Structure 1
Amino acid sequence: MIRSTVRCLFLALCFSPCIVNAADARPNVIVFIADDVSWNDFGCYGNPQARTPNIDRLAAGGLRLDQAYLTASSCSPSRASMITGRYPHNNGPASELHLPIAANLPWFPERLRDAGYYTALSGKNHMSVGKLEPGQSARPKAFDLIDRGRNKNNGGGHANWVRIAKDRPRDKPFFFWYAAYDAHRAWDGDRQWDAKKYGPRHTPESVRVPKFLVDDLPTRQDLASYYNEVTRFDYFVGEVVQELAEQKVLDNTLILVLADNGRPFPRAKTRLHDSGMKTALVAHWPATIKPGEVSDSLVSAIDIAPTVLSVAGAEIPETVQGVSMLPLFSDPSATIRRYAFSEHNWHDFEAHGRSIRDGRFLFIQNNRPQFPWQGPADSVNSPSHEQLRLQRDGNKLTAAQQDVFTAPRPAEELYLVDADPDQLNNLIDDKRYAADADRLRKLLDEWSVATGDTVPDQISSDSFDRETGDRLPIAKNAFRGTPAGTQRNATTVNNPGPR
């Protein structure tokens, strides 16, 4: 651990703007973000049916992190956490879907631009800055270039990735935030499929059906369409990597590949369980990371911001609650954190859940146990959810499938993650683990107090029907309540709590 810390400091000094004379000596960085992809839907994470050869090669040539967790299984709150290095409730309204990040909080690409990096965002953005308070200055520019990454033949957000890499200024190091719309519903990858590029479409027979879904043709076809989008995302990751190799800058480029939340299926997206909150995370940097490395150390999505800033030798704002992953790049067995915390706030439906992981256990607190965790509206509208409803109405659900409809739910859940990777066996009432539950409960309470978390008295309510997924006939924003942490001014709290 000491050697890792020394190496981390050495790297930071080497790449400090005060020491580096030539801008191109500093590492480039690309963060590839898939949309709505569960951690085990990449081939390198053990899915034999997933076709992700380019990401698999990056993992084989770099570091695969096997215990990486998001702070929210919800698109914009998750991305806001990554870009600020803060927990969702510490980002203000951005803890809930489609709302802005508090204006007092810096985004890490701002610091990269200040340090002389060329910065670009291409694809899904989903982030914005909130209203300025009296006395606040406008936020500095985070990206030199922003585009949606789409054209008439490509709705996946990656249409311009290679061109941006080609057209970048050659006298500056670069940072690219490449965020796909793949694999968000409604499957435009099927309509835009190019077999010459992506290979044959996935077939219903070729997919892997989780225990909590119905194994039938409609569900398998739904999953095949999802797999197609995962493969399309992988293709464009490969195209960018090839371009970097041709430019002879691949060795000095840190590449991170991850997703913002789990697959858009029942018991995945918006869940605090691994199917929603765990992410694949591949780090590739030939100049520093040895090939074929695997780490079982806990990391959080809020650790991305300090990692990238450390790599660039840029200043890390005091608002960042994460820790740098640099020690893991030289020693994958190093420990940078003991706990990973996640939260579930409003995403189409009223919710307030919190969780803590310690590498062995997952402990969940649900402050709205009266409601089912059926998933977001796009999942409730899916063929896969419809098949679950049909099985439910025919009294044919297994216990794993029934979980999607269970209400009331347990207020607390405890799982041994290695023995129960799908988290189907709740151990909260098992006396053998009572001490573990009590320890994690106290740590979660300590984290909530330290970070200024709250359960709002007036919480955002449902804006969709939980049974059909249809939008409710209510006035625009009438469902919005007070975001978590507002009562304690959590946007001004920088304490990370236990880690």
Structure 2
Amino acid sequence: MINRIIYFGICILISLSVSCISNVKSIEGTQPNILILFLDDLDPDFRCYGNTLVTTPNIDKLASEGMLFTRAYSAATVCSPSHTTLFTGCYASTIGAPHHRSSYIDKLPDGYSILTDLMSDAGYFTVNFRSKGDLMYQKLYGATAKTDLNFDRGKPENNRESGKEVFKNLQTIDPENIETYFKGGKWNSKESNQPFFAYANIETGKKHGFVPGRKWAKERGIAVDSTKIKIPPHYSDTDEVRSVLASSLDAVSHVDFEVGKFLKALEKSGYANNTLVILMSDHGATLQRHKQSLWTSGIHIPMIIKWPNKIKPSEINEELASIIDIAPTCLNAAGIKIPKTMEGLDLLSNKPNNRKYIFATRDGMNNFFDCSRAVISKEYQYIHHFFPELSFRGNGYAKRTLTFKSMLELYKKDSLNELQRAYFKPSKNYAFELYNLNNDTEETVNLALNSAYKEETLKYQHILFQWQKETGDKVLNARKLLNVEKVPEGTKVDNLLKLKR
């Protein structure tokens, strides 16, 4: 009798095991949902990245449940080329659309693809989120639906910064009611078993969010104490600098609150267990020497990926990563073939382990010409300025939005040190810059000026030139086109392109 009980017990266990294995296979064979939380203008300033002044419980929790990348970078220093990279898996320079707010291309070159099209063709429900309300409300709460592509701009269907509407659906949400995020509206047109590819562009942390973020944080008793902020060596310690930095960090806490709504709505909807969540920023904060700059302060970004049952909790990834990798990562997760034209790597594969270098570009800003490139390894960053005669702040946005007025006044009085003066000079200090990222995290010592590092500098210069040759990155020969020895400040990209024709 006992033997028969044991026998049937074993049979039941085997049956349950087979059933479990069958269920696992079924789950593994299901295409995951994908949610991208794209945060405009943010440094890695969350608690999970070591900043203890901010309050970021939602993003910290996401990191504890997934993979945090310590060496993630933007492929460009400003919105549109960065967004273009995200949706194509290519450097904006490769497809001939590197300039911000100028010289858009009508369409992608032959053979290149848009991530959303590939997802849609594979049966995904593609959806972008937009908060209801006026423009400023959208920029502070929920999502803006911003795509901001440098190709096929078309009519701005979503808002003033939209490119072609690359998503099939636009979900209008009420940030005060998370029930509207993954239910109702356009979401009702999603088939019951259809996987989704969703995108939320969150602008809460940008410059326009600093003052509201400060107010928001004070109301909750979590405002940053400006006296506790460590002032970077490139900044002078003024009341304005401390005030702006404190407000920028309060805006980060506000971003976390908005991110939390999406994560809670995802959990409440029942989708969380089969959703790959990717959170990152497009480039550095809306601060002097950050946004529009190729120093690490301008291109080192936060990146966190969570995929239940696929990624171990609290995993730290120290490999080189870039926005350019997001498209191939999404495609591979969904079981979709990655086009050969995509230059990025699947971050969840072993391929990034063998990567030695990544690249970043800075070109025309708001139609004001410039051109610089950066090569980043785990040890060094090399920056090459093709037109050092042009200043770092040679466009209206940089002068108006990215400049500390108090530092500008100190510069005029010749009261800044050489490090602090660099941003304000009428031309760049050097044509080449080389920094040791391990020993000089603030990038204060340009090793390219040291003869002992001449060989290292030339090595990285060669790596850059080789990459440009391989990717077809052609720099406009502005001096030749204008027949000048030095390109004048204020030269327009579009005018150079007309001369080229």
TM-score bracket, normalised by the shorter chain, equals 0.7 to 0.9
Q: Within 5 Å, which residues of 2 pair with 1:59-458? A: 59-97=63-101, 100=104, 102-104=106-108, 105-122=112-129, 123=144, 124-127=146-149, 129-130=151-152, 142-146=166-170, 163-167=180-184, 168=187, 169=190, 170-187=192-209, 190=212, 194=216, 200-327=222-349, 335-348=353-366, 349-374=368-393, 377-382=396-401, 385-406=404-425, 407-458=427-478
Contact 1:298 1:336 (C-alpha < 8 Å) held by counterparts: no
SS at match of 1:171: coil
**Structure 1: how far apart are the matches of 2:165 and 2:493?**
32
Structure 1: unaligned runs, 5 residues or longer: 1-19, 133-138, 152-157, 462-468, 488-499
CA distance 1:276–1:327, change in 2 (3 Å): same
SS at match of 2:198: strand
CA distance 1:372–1:148, change in 2 (3 Å): farther
Task: State the shift of 1:74 in Å.
Answer: 0.6
Deviation sequence 1:82-106 (CA, Å, 0-9, x none): 1101111123235433554551342
As a proportion of its length, which structure holds more helix? 2
Contact 2:392 2:428 (C-alpha < 8 Å) held by counterparts: no
Q: Tell me the residue number matched to 1:490.
A: none
Q: Tell me the residue number matched to 1:54.
A: 58
CA distance 1:323–1:358, change in 2 (3 Å): same
Q: Which of 380-389 and 336-345 deviates more? A: 380-389
**TM-score normalised over the length of structure 2:** 0.78
- Give the counterpart letter for 1:118 in structure 2: F
Tell me which of 28, 32, 37 is aligned to 1:32: 37
Contact 1:364 1:414 (C-alpha < 8 Å) held by counterparts: yes
CA distance 1:260–1:449, change in 2 (3 Å): same
CA distance 1:159–1:353, change in 2 (3 Å): farther
Contact 1:162 1:239 (C-alpha < 8 Å) held by counterparts: no
Deviation sequence 1:362-411 (CA, Å, 0-9, x none): 01110110122137634422485211111112222123311212334211
Q: Which of 159-168 and 234-243 deviates more? A: 159-168
Deviation sequence 1:10-36 (CA, Å, 0-9, x none): xxxxxxxxxx98999221111111111
Contact 2:284 2:301 (C-alpha < 8 Å) held by counterparts: yes
**Structure 1: how far apart are the matches of 2:376 and 2:462?**
13
**Structure 2: how far apart are the matches of 1:234 and 1:433?**
42
**Structure 1: how far apart are the matches of 2:394 and 2:315?**
34
Task: State the shift of 1:434 in Å.
Answer: 2.4
**Structure 2: how far apart are the matches of 1:194 and 1:297?**
36
SS at match of 1:186: helix
CA distance 1:189–1:145, change in 2 (3 Å): farther
**Structure 2: how far apart are the matches of 1:161 and 1:76?**
29
Count of paired positions:
436
**Structure 1: how far apart are the matches of 2:217 and 2:465?**
51
CA distance 1:192–1:214, change in 2 (3 Å): closer
Structure 2: unaligned runs, 5 residues or longer: 1-24, 130-143, 155-162, 483-488
Deviation sequence 1:209-247 (CA, Å, 0-9, x none): 322122222222222222232222211211111122223
Task: State the shift of 1:179 in Å.
Answer: 0.7
Q: Percent identity?
A: 26
CA distance 1:192–1:221, change in 2 (3 Å): closer
**TM-score normalised over the length of structure 1:** 0.79
Deviation sequence 1:321-367 (CA, Å, 0-9, x none): 11111226xx9xx6052110111001133210011112111011101
Contact 2:324 2:343 (C-alpha < 8 Å) held by counterparts: yes
Contact 1:198 1:231 (C-alpha < 8 Å) held by counterparts: no
